[in-house]
Every structure is written in C-alpha cells, then in structure tokens.
Structure 1
Amino acid sequence: MPTAIPLGAPIWADANTPDLARDLDFYMRLFKWSSFDTGEEFGHYTELCLGSTVSVARAVGGLAPNPPGDANALSAWGVAFHVADCFQAAADAEKLGATMVSHPVRVGDDLVYAAMKDPDGGAFGLFEPMSEHVGFTAFDEPGAAVWFEYVYDGAPVEAMQFYSELLNWSLKVPESDDPPHDDAPYVELWTHETHLLTSATVEFGGARMALGPEVKMQPHWLVCFGTDSVDLTAAKAVDYGGRVAVAPVDDPGGRMAVLVSPTGAHFTIMSSKKQGNEG
C-alpha cells in the first residue's frame, strides 16, 4: 500500500477558490505554508506544504482554481477519504444513497478520485492513492490538519451511519459523564488501523448537530488545522482579510475557533485535539 494512512481515514483536504492569488496570500501568511503549482496540465492545482523547498516540503492540502464555467463559486474546504478501489467505493456509495458529482478519474500516475455527496447532501471525496507521494505527509501538528468534523442539522449518529457502512468506521457516542461538546449531540469517529498481527481503532474526527447560523448551511465537513495559539491566529486571519465565524472558545478537545477565508471557505483552528487508541 503506497501510504500509511489507514483505509477509511481522511487522506486529503483541499479548497476550490475563485481567486487563487488572494487565497494563497491569506493561507501562506496565516499558517506559514509554502505552495507548489502543478502547472497548466492540472489546471494550476496548487499543493500547500510545511517547508519551503521541494526536498523538505510536507503536504497539508491543496487549492484548486474554480473552473471557467463556475469561476465565481464561493470557496469551500473538502475532505477525501482513503479507499482501496475508487470505482468500487463510488458504486457502493451510490447503493447506500450517495450522489456521484464526478465519476472516478485517474489523475496522472498518482491517484484515482471521485467527488460525491452523501445522502444528506454533504460533499466528500473518495481517494485511491497509487503513489507514495500523495496524501497528507504532515498531520497532527501546528499548520497541518488535526481533526475533521461533520456539521449536520439533525442527529449526528444517523448521518454517520452512511459513512460507517461505506468506510468501515466505528461510531462512539460519548458517555454521559464525559464533558459536553458544545452542549450539542455528538458522535466520535474512529477508523481501523492494522500493523502485522495487531489492530487498533484511531479517532480522527467527530460529527455534531449544527448550531446557530450553521442550521441554515448545507451539511458539511470542517477541516481543523492546528495552531500554537488559537486567539493569535484568529486575530491574524482578520488582519489578512478573513473573518471569525465562531470566536475562540474552550472545547473538550482544546481551544478552537471557526474562521472564514477571504473567498468564503469555513475552516477550524484548534490548539489540540482529542486522540486515542482502543485495542
């Protein structure tokens, strides 16, 4: 297998953008990312990395310029999940009630990708790696993705049944004596990791009921990036042309805030995350 990322786990995150130059300036200043343009052949898809040179760069995500037919679409972050066979997974997803937005397509010699919408309308991707050079190579540290959260105007555990069946996730509802998560129903998301004769479940995210203005939004995945200081990063985001959608607050998983890029993409910043293993 070309990646150590477990099957079913998030393997990539990226955002579309109507203004690549503006977004690059925002994110590179906010997270100290570097960028690498894949060129005209791939629509100037731009990889975002920690590290300033190709030899040391570690990938955290990507930015995709909007296609000419939808040039002014608002920016949005999306999450793709690791599958062994993208064609089979896309077919299975449709049988479970998902909608195929774009059929599986091979991208160079690196991966096969399909864009989907779950039965509740939330967008996600299916990602079959064919090279060890794709997927996250930086994770769970400042400037990289640390957590993934699904926001849904309804019972989270019901929304997650689709993903559980498709991607073999385990769902865990926190015990009654666990700290409340924003006083809203919550379900933890775990995927399975196998090493030789041992196996474990790894927590990578959660799903919660939408709150306040989120109720009017389509169900969606939030990408959560790590930072050493949530408050300072939120203040810098405003200085760099973004805005704060949810002000910094202490959460059971750590301090967090929801930010919005200059072109409209919502994402979360977190000081830490809940993490653990179960045998």
Structure 2
Amino acid sequence: MKPVGQARPGFPCWVSLAARSLQAAQEFYTAVLGWTWRSTGLDEEFRTALFGGAPVAGIGELANSLRGAVAWTPFFAVADADATAARIHERGGTVGVGPLAFGPDRRAALAADPDGAVFGFWEGEALPGWAAEPDSAPAWLELRTRDAFAAALFYGEVFGWAAPEGPCSVEYENDEVIVGEAERKLAVIRGGAVEQAPDPRVRPRWYVHFRVPDVTAAVAAARAAGGTVALPPAPSAAGRQATLRDPDGGLFTVTAA
C-alpha cells in the first residue's frame, strides 16, 4: 500500500473493522456502500476498502481464538506512539495492544479512554485514507459517551487538541464538543451537559459515519444483505442519517453526502 506522507498529528487518519468473516464482511459492505477491495500487502486476512478508487477503510478477520465484539475503530495520527501511550496511561486510559511496528516507518496501537471507548493511534507515514481524500472517505467520527466535557479533556490532552497551537478547532456547543478544521467536521463528542451527572446507561463508543448518496437505499441494501437497522433514517444536524448493524453486529452510520 502506497503511503501518502506523514499524517498530521491529532487528526483522524484511518478506520478499521475486525470482522468474524472477511469474505462475508466484504460482500456486505460492497452491497451497502459500493466498496471494492484490494490486498493491503500486510496479511492475507486484511483488505483495504476502496470507493471511487480511493482507500476509505480497512477490514481484517478476527482470529478464531478471539471472541471480542465486532466494531469499527477510528485511528488518530500521532508524532510519537510511545509518548501518546504514556499520556493515555497518565490520564486514566489504557493501551491494550501495541504500539506495534508495521514496517520500518509505521507504528500503531489500540487503546481505550477512561470510560471504555476504544480507539487507535498511528505513528508514521499515513495510509491513504480520509485525511488525504476527505470527499470519498468517512464523513466524520462521533463519540457517544457519558460526559462529553470530560471526554473532550481526555482526547484534547492526549492528541494536543487543547494546545494553543493545536491542529484542530475545538468548540463546545449545545452539549456537544465539535472538533474540526476550517469548515470540515472531523469528530463530534456527545454526552450529558456539564451540570448533569454522567448517564450510566450510555455505553461509550466511537461511531463512524460513512457518506452515501441515498440513505434510504443504503438501509434497504443493508436489510437485503443480512444487516439490521439500529436507528431508522431521520434528519439530524449533519443531514439525514441512519445507524445500521452489519450481520456480525458491527455498528456504523450512513449519512447523506
């Protein structure tokens, strides 16, 4: 896979799915999102999803010995994976895997924030993904958590969003934290208001929103391909969207382009 240069620290740089069956996942996401596929060159159990010829996501197959939940995971670019891991530990998060080397110039790790939402971080040359091709890659990321303000502090300190010269703009508005660049929304953190106690019913997790030309058609294709609808099509501040579940249980959101 050809790199596209150094990823910008603090920015989302990739999303990936750990599926129970690589072949079944490819068939489902081809039907719903119109993706095509190519080998990553790293392992036969990993594939890169393409849309319009541009890489948008990665899918790998879970080892038979692993029984973890199937989920989409966002990755954020960092300048130093070891320093990032240390900041995560210092701020109450955990690093479950890595940092591991992927070739001579890339390292990646999986972590969880203090409330348990899983995310990854990536050091080195960027995989060609949504940071390089924003018009064809995932629309944006959304963290649904118990306390948006606390989560924003954690991620802001881990990824440098809180720094005066940080890479992103961070705004707190209507109980949401919006992370962006110019007019482009990169991530939204949603949770309870500052004056409210955290909601224990919320299971914190990151959601990936994929652009589609027709939300209704994507929902119909998901049902026909064996998926289910977690949240039916409805208008939102970001446009019409629906949250779907693939046959393995992986949640994702489709958003009108």
Normalised to the residue count of structure 2, the TM-score between the two structures is 0.85
Q: Deviations over 1:175-220 (max 9, x none)?
A: 6xxxxxxxxx3221236xxxxxxxx68531211138xxx9756311
Distance verdict in 2 for CA 1:11–1:25, change over 3 Å: same
Matched, 1:129 2:124: yes
Count matched residues.
241
Task: Give the drift of 1:73.
Answer: 3.3
Query: 1:188 corresponds to which residue?
Result: 178
Whole-angstrom distance in 2 between the partners of 1:79 and 1:58:
18
CA distance in structure 1 between the partners assigned to 2:200 and 2:38 by the alignment: 36
- Deviation, 1:37, is 2.6
> Which secondary structure does the structure 2 equivalent of 1:173 belong to?
strand
Offset, 1:44:
1.6
Q: Whole-Å Cα distance in 1 between the matches of residues 128 and 107 of structure 2?
A: 11
Which stretch of the first structure deviates more once superposed, 132-141 or 228-237? 132-141
* Aligned match for 1:157, one of 141, 146, 149: 149
Q: In 2, Cα distance between the equivalents of 1:75 and 1:148? A: 17
Residues 70-109 of structure 1 mapped to structure 2, 5 A cutoff = 70=66, 72-109=67-104
Q: Which residue of 2 aligns with 1:208?
A: 190
Displacement, 1:5?
4.9
The answer to whether structure 1 residue 65 and structure 2 residue 61 are counterparts is yes
Q: How many percent of aligned residue pairs carry the same amino acid?
A: 28
CA contact (8 A) 1:243 1:262 kept: yes
In structure 2, distance between residues paired with 1:155 and 1:4: 32
Contact 1:82 1:127 in 2 (8 A): yes
**What's 1:9 paired with?**
11
Residues 210 and 253 in structure 2, CA contact (< 8 A), matched pair in contact too: yes
1:194 is matched with which residue?
A: none
RMSD after superposition:
2.4
Structure 1 residues 110 and 227, CA gap change in structure 2 (3 angstroms): farther
Give the match's secondary structure for 1:15: strand
Query: What secondary structure, in the 3-state scheme, does the structure 2 residue paired with 1:91 have?
Result: helix
Give the conservation status (yes or no) of the 8 Å contact 2:138–2:209.
yes
Partner of 1:19: 21
- Aligned partner (choices 230, 251, 257) of residue 245 of structure 1: 230
Say if 2:140 and 2:185, in contact at 8 Å, map to a contact too: no
Offset from partner CA, 1:138-185 (integer Å, 9 cap, x none): 3334xx301100011x2212222100111122431226xxxxxxxxx3
Contact 1:11 1:135 in 2 (8 A): yes
| Structure 1 runs not aligned, ≥5 long | 52-56, 176-184, 192-199, 273-279
Residues 108-141 of structure 1, C-alpha deviation per residue, up to 9 Å, x if partnerless? Answer: 24521011111111101010133x5544343334
AA in 2 matched with 1:48:
A
Output the CA distance in 1 between the equivalents of 2:144 and 2:256. Answer: 20
Q: Distance in 1 between matches of 2:200 and 2:214?
A: 28
Gaps of 5+ in 2: 162-168, 193-198
Q: After the TM superposition, which residues 25-36 of structure 1 pair with which residues of structure 2 at under 5 Å, given as runs?
A: 25-36=27-38
Q: Answer yes or no: is the 8 Å Cα contact 1:14–1:77 preserved in 2.
A: yes
